[in-house]
């Protein structure tokens, strides 16, 4: 099983600032099958990034993903008020399809 | 518009059973592998089970193996999860989502709450 470790657990930032979220895998993620999801309270997760760096349909270009192998990053270039949420990474290249524990981006 | 609507959640006693359904619309259901993902109150996401397009490939998390059964009916555009021998730790919101090995979970339902308590 691939274990995904996200850091930091909580990120306290102001609107307009840049957010950098990390996801580290316990072993190499097959073919960069790494996704990022956003979840707001009371809502289902929403796909942001797939294939480590491809934006899902309708996702603003302030969201970007990078990385390969065992180290991946989600960057939010300039935080908008609606971006404050919890973010999860997930590997979907092997079973079980594991999720990281999440990073909460909160308003400072 | 893609829609996934879960139903069947509720309160059940430990050791009891519950059956969840997920009704799909707005896309060709038979073209997508499907999953159940759960989220315990205040916790993160946990993949539970997946089923391939023609139900040939089925997989479960170790935490539910032998107790839960996933199935689908492509003619009815529906996904199911039969949950037996329920435990308190199965308490969670259960989401259905599209996606298989090599595919991200593009679409999600809004979830249905399962509470296991005496």
Sign of the torsion formed by the C-alpha atoms of A94, B94, B80 and B66: positive
List CB contacts (< 8 A) between A94 and chain B.
Answer: 101
CB within 8 Å: B101 and A94: yes
Q: What is the pLDDT of residue B19?
A: 98
Cβ neighbours, 10 Å, residue A86: 20
State yes or no: pLDDT of B101 exceeds 80: no
For the record, the structure tokens of B4 come out as: 């996934």
Mean of the per-residue pLDDT values of chain B: 96
pLDDT of residue A69: 95
Say if CB A26 and CB A10 are below 8 A apart: no
Cα of B16 to nearest chain A Cα, Å: 26
pLDDT digits (tens, 9 = 90+) for A18-72: 999 999 999 999 888 999 999 999 999 999 999 999 999 999 999 999 999 999 9
Q: Is the pLDDT at B6 greater than 80, yes or no?
A: yes
pLDDT tens digits, residue range A74-105?
A: 999 999 999 999 999 999 998 899 999 999 99
Mean pLDDT of B43-57: 96
Which residues, in sequence order, are CB contacts of B24 under 8 Å at separation 6+?
A: B3, B4, B77, B78, B79, B96
Residue B98 has pLDDT above 90, yes or no: yes
Q: What is the mean pLDDT of residues B91-104?
A: 92
Can you give the pLDDT at residue B102?
82
Residues of B contacting chain A (CB within 8 angstroms): 35, 44-47, 50, 59, 61-62, 95, 99, 101-106, 108-111
| pLDDT on residue A24 | 98
pLDDT band with cut points at 50, 70 and 90 for residue B47 = very high
pLDDT (tens digit per residue) in B64-75: 999 999 999 999
pLDDT band at B30 (very low <50, low <70, confident <90, very high): very high
Smallest Cβ–Cβ distance between B102 and the set A37, A93, A100 belongs to A93
Q: How many CB atoms lie within 10 A of CB B62?
A: 8
Mean pLDDT value across residues B44-57: 96
CA B103 to chain centre: 17
**Which helix H or strand E contains B97, and what residues bound it?**
strand B92-98
Residue A30 near residue A39, CB atoms below 8 Å: no
Q: Could you say which of A31, A43, A50 has the minimum Cβ distance to residue B104?
A: A50
């Amino acid at each position: 099983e691939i274990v995904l470790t996200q850091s930091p657990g909580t990120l306290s930032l102001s609107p307009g600032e840049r957010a950098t979220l990390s996801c580290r895998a316990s072993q190499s993620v097959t073919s960069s099958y790494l996704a990022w999801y956003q979840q707001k309270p009371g809502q289902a997760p929403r796909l942001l990034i797939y294939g480590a760096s491809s934006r899902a349909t309708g996702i603003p270009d302030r969201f970007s993903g990078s990385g390969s192998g065992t180290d991946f990053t989600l960057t939010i270039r300039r935080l908008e008020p609606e971006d404050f949420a919890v973010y999860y990474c997930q590997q979907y290249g092997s079973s079980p399809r594991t999720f990281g524990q999440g990073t909460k981006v909160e308003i400072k | 518009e893609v829609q996934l609507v879960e139903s069947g959640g509720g309160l059940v006693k430990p050791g009891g059973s519950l059956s969840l359904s997920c009704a799909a619309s707005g896309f060709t259901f038979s073209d997508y592998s499907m999953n159940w993902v759960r989220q315990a109150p205040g916790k993160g996401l946990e993949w539970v089970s997946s089923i391939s397009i023609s139900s040939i490939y089925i997989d479960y998390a170790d935490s539910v193996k032998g107790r839960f059964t996933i199935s689908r009916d492509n003619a009815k555009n529906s996904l199911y999860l039969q949950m037996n021998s329920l435990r308190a730790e199965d308490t969670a919101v259960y989401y259905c989502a599209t996606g298989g090995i090599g595919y991200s979970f593009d679409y999600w339902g809004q979830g249905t709450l399962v509470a296991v308590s005496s």
